[in-house]
Chain A
Amino acid sequence: MSGAGTGTGISTGPRTERALFDAAAECAALSARCRALCERAAAAGADEAEVFGLRSESIAVGFEKDDMKLAQVDDGSTLGLRVFRDGRLGFASTNQAGEAALAAAARDALALAAINPPDPANRLPAASPVPAGPALVRPDTAAVTVERAVEIGRELVGRAKRADARLAIDKGTVRVGRSTRALANTAGADCAESDAAVSLSLFGMAVDGGDVGGFHYCGDVVRDLGRLEPALAQVVHEFVEVSLGNLAARAAESYRGPVLFAPDAFVEALVSPLIAAASAIAVQRGRSALAGRVGEAVADPALSIVDDPGDPTLAGATGFDREGQPARRFELVAQGVLAGYLYNSYAAHVDGVASSGHAAGGARSVPGLGPHALCVGVGTGGDLERMLAALGRGLYVQRFSGTVDPASGDFSGVAKSARWVEGGAIVGSVRETLLSGNAFELLRRLVVLSSAAQRRGGSLRAPHALIDGVSVTAG
């Protein structure tokens, strides 16, 4: 770690009491509430009913302008009820636990089902056994107190501030969440799991006299407190390096050619349209450029993408999806070839196949469709230094802020925290530089991926990518 000041380290033991988190009891209680609402809906006339429940207790401490701002404690739960009646869909959710509210939710969902047109794909998936998922709760993580969260936050913000007086923390947050999710349906699904994690984030910039650098946001999520210190050190290190690097920005040059994308920018501008186009629903609805392309090359052979919900170091780790189907490792793109589409049960019923376990979403909406924990495979490009050398001259973009059309693959936006590279080395920060191109075309012009992937925000893993043919417009 360099440039992040001298940390004093953070202790790992709880200081004051917090009510113990009994994950098994939490799961049992929430499952019982889900089953009860399911039975209520069935009794009220639903052919099929499904209830997804989410209970969350959280502690959050927020820092603003380098100082403690607010400590927040929340505790709440929501049940989302989906019903089918004669192939007609209805959905209602409530965060109220009282009898009247639950009766109203059942009534609302059935009333909606009464007026919607029928659809033969509107039915629950057959229940599948859900194997034991990844271990997501560690007692010490679930026991973190307000005092402890403040201590972590002070260390997070303090280290960044000690690193360089020019850094301004607009927002720093430590959130300790312990949650339980459960699903029960009339087709026999009945599953639950708990989770406990600490998330860290820093948002701010460097200010040097009249020079205000572009902001930077970074964060991480850890379930294992043993990983808290390295995660905190990495968040601070990145915040310091990138924010200071954003000072003294100058104009870049316009060109069309190679651009080096850091993992966040690579996923946002180039990988996200591919993921959206791999949705079976996008294919069925005629808005996917990947329709009919399973088994075909859709990107350079160096690109492989998997969804790995069994990896407990990623925030999206889970044992089951939003419909209670097992969440398994899923290969989406293998050596540039599209291996399959992402399915929830609705899309699966339309195509007459099995769900891939990718129903997604929370308790306040009908199940959607999406990956759980995205991992983009690494390449042979070596470390960042070698990737910069491979770029030679041009733009290195660490964050992309713009518009991405998942249907066409067109993207256009600003290169943020971007650097100009000469002779394979960073020579300065750039401002007002726009990128544009088409993701589906440019993924075929992948020059090389770095040899290591980074965990980003705790939610995905991806390498750096050098891509040719990108339009760069400088101000």
Chain B
Amino acid sequence: MDASDPIEGHDPTDLLAEVLAAAGDGFVELRYHKKRTRGVAVEKGRVDSASISEHTGVGVRVLEAGTWGFASTDRVEAGAIARAIDLARRAARSSAPGRNERVGALPPVGLARGRFEAPGVGETLARSIEEALELVLTLERRARSASSEVASSTCGYREIFEEKGIVTSDGAKAWTRLVRPEFHVGAVAARDGEIQRGREAVGSTGGWECLFRNASPEELAEKAVKRAVDLLAAGYPTGGRRRVLLSPSLVGLLTHEAVGHTVEADFVRAGSCAAGKLGQRVASELVTLCDSGASEFYEGAGGRLDVDDEGVPAGRTVIVRDGILESYLHDRESAARSGVAPTGNARAWEYDDEPLIRMRNTWIEPGGTSLEEMIAGVADGLLLDGAANGQADSNGEFMFGTREAYPIVDGKLGPLQRGVNISGTAFDVLATVDKVGSVFRWDLGSGHCGKGQPAKVDAGGPWLSCEVLVGGEQS
């Protein structure tokens, strides 16, 4: 394929369609995927990384002899793609004797055709890497000089530009383009041998306006420094089962970790705690929980996806409506097995990865309570903010880290305490939701979900009041 102007792009689908036309019978899915990553990272005034990376190729998936075969090539030319089709078919045929339940032909579904471009591609790609470097150097310097107790600071910017062409033998022919910028700033504060960190990170699908919609880079730097310094003198919360108010970023983690993974159809089939619960009450009636490829509420959600990696339009799925489990997340095969339409959740990280069932943007719908009212309603509890990592388990048990905690006693906020990990069982915790905030926010766009492959996702919601197990000190 000819080199092309990245801003204008080059439609790869005609080449793929030509190869596919000569590929003979049987289901074949061709996915061209170009990924170009630009990034800079600075710590304590030193540029640790300044890089431009390109990873491009074609992934081929076939359904042959009742099973799946996959092959990939980094050569984007007709001959190499045709050879990859042959390799994928041979892999499928070779492995077919190992398959007990043969996969039948996939039922016809509405597949995407045409060009799909997320907002911000032109704006972001037009920015020079010098601009990103200048921003990162300036903000790192600003964070480092903001307090005499800051021992070190970091700042980084990265953008992933992706161009895909998806062509299938049953009708998909889509060309998609998007860009996902990320920015982070962190500070390490030290006092009398004590070391604490503060970190703020944002990520979006779109331009820099989306990226810095909720806070400017300067505000993010100030917040990171303040958190690191304030945590030096902070104590630990007492562990135990507590009433907590979760910030939108933590609600995002809750929706993603506690519920989202358990409703991925492959995990459901293996026996996750959501299996067999469709139509049943799994949460307080205040909870409506969705997953969508669109950036609902406002532009910029980090997991935006117009078309999934099987060529299915990435629409909106209501997973829990008013507390009742309504749908799982599907790819084409799992949807066919369940007799429902695919939900557009098949995603592959790079061209040489097979599509897996993954979330996109997952959220809890806002309610009608202000944060002030929520705080006033707590007699003994914690306000938690700042998302760290998280993980879900097959039994619905989840955990995720928080960066800061504030005790609430008789409706009043106390001083900052150190963040802790919280845990619970997904549907048990959702059943304890008694108040849902009124202001929605996407707040997980800088994160990646891991499931064998990474995936860019976003999640969010309003402030939420529920009961969880809080890790902390024991006397």
Chain A residues close to B by CB (< 8 Å)? 16, 59, 61-62, 64-78, 89-97, 100-101, 104-105, 108-109, 111-113, 115-117, 119, 121, 145-147, 150-151, 153-154, 168-171, 204-205, 207, 212-215, 246, 249, 254-256, 284-287, 289, 364-366, 401-403, 405, 407-408, 410, 412-414, 416, 431-432, 434-436, 471-473, 475
Contacts and interface: CB of A to CB of B under 8 A. Distances in A.
Interface in B364-408: 388-389, 391, 393-397, 399, 401
Given A285-B44, A401-B391, A170 B74 contact: no
A471 B98 contact: no
A95 B74 CA distance: 7
A212 B394 contact: yes
B244 to A, nearest CB: 14
Contacts of A92: 51-54
Interface stretch (B62-70, B111-119, B203-211, B282-290): B62-70
A168 B474 contact: no
A70 B29 CA distance: 14
Contacts of B449: none
A432 B425 CA distance: 8
Interface string B46-61: 1111111111110001
B413 interface: no
A215 B393 contact: yes
Contacts of B424: 432, 475
A89 B91 CA distance: 43
B285 to A, nearest CB: 23
B389 to A, nearest CB: 6
B273 interface: yes
A74 B421 contact: no
Given A112-B50, A205-B394, A170 B267 contact: yes
Interface of B: 3, 43-44, 46-57, 61, 67-75, 87-88, 90-92, 94-95, 97-101, 129-130, 133, 137, 151-152, 188, 190, 193-197, 236, 239-241, 266-267, 269-273, 352, 354, 388-389, 391, 393-397, 399, 401, 418-421, 423-425, 452, 469-475
Contacts of B471: 402, 412-413, 434-436, 471, 473
A436 B46 contact: no
A90 B475 CA distance: 52
Contacts of A96: 54, 56, 74
Nearest to B403: A403
Nearest to A109: B52
Contacts of B73: 75-76
Nearest to B94: A146
A94 B354 CA distance: 21
Contacts of B87: 73
Interface centre among A75, A116, A150, A473 (most CB of B within 10 A): A473
Contact of B3 (A65, A78, A91, A104): A104
A100 B3 contact: yes
Nearest to B240: A473
18 contacts: A61-B95, A65-B269, A70-B67, A70-B354, A73-B88, A74-B71, A93-B51, A116-B47, A256-B473, A286-B44, A286-B188, A287-B188, A405-B197, A432-B425, A434-B469, A435-B471, A473-B472, A475-B241
A225 to B, nearest CB: 19
B51 A256 contact: no
Given A65-B266, A256-B474, A472-B474, 4 more contacts: A68-B98, A73-B88, A284-B44, A366-B51
A205 B273 CA distance: 11
Contacts of B425: 431-432
Contact of B68 (A69, A105, A246): A69
A269 B238 CA distance: 20
A71 B70 contact: yes
Contact of B474 (A255, A284, A366, A408): A255
Contacts of A101: 54
Nearest to B137: A117
B129 A112 contact: yes
A439 to B, nearest CB: 12
B347 to A, nearest CB: 15
Given A71-B67, A119-B46, A77 B74 contact: yes
A71 B92 contact: yes
A214 B133 contact: no
Leading 8 A-B pairs by shortest Cβ distance: A473-B239, A434-B471, A286-B151, A403-B401, A71-B95, A170-B270, A71-B91, A70-B68
A112 B52 contact: yes
B272 A212 contact: yes
Contact of B98 (A16, A154, A169, A249): A154
Given A70-B70, A91-B50, A414 B397 contact: yes
A475 B240 CA distance: 7
A64 B271 CA distance: 12
Contacts of B52: 91-93, 105, 108-109, 112
B7 to A, nearest CB: 16
Nearest to B194: A408
Given A115-B133, A145-B94, A432-B424, A68 B51 contact: no
Contacts of A204: 270, 394
